[in-house]
Amino acid sequence: MSNTKPLSLEEQQKILDWLDKKWLGTKTCNICGHNQWNLSQHVVAPTTLEGKNISLGGTIYPLVLVTCKNCGNTHFFNVVMVGLLRSSSDPGSEPDNG
């Protein structure tokens, strides 16, 4: 069982609003041609590699996933760009929501 907190309804709506502004044109999956997508319920962070070793506690890239409901094709969106989190490298800046 996971101890991670799922995205709130407000956070999910913020992501969907951002996607509506940024994802121009057709939202058809470029793999299977379907157009139904699922928004992940959690922010995820892929693990970085140092050579052939997994680097735990290193640089992370917080992402939200949007997955095709038909084939599983997945798009990753940076939550700092979406405006859910501030960048740790620039703590005084506001996220770009435009």
Residue 84 or 48, more confident: 84
pLDDT of residue 93: 46
Residue 86's pLDDT is what? 82
* Other CB atoms within 10 Å distance of the CB of residue 19: 17
Look at residue 44 in the predicted model and tell me its pLDDT: 92
> Mean pLDDT over all residues of the chain?
85
User: Token pair for residue 51?
Assistant: 């050579």
How does 80-93 read in b/e, with b if 16+ C-beta sit within 10 Å?
Answer: bebbbeeeeeeeee
Say what the pTM is: 0.76
| 15: region left, alpha or beta (phi > 0 left; psi from -120 to 50 alpha) | alpha
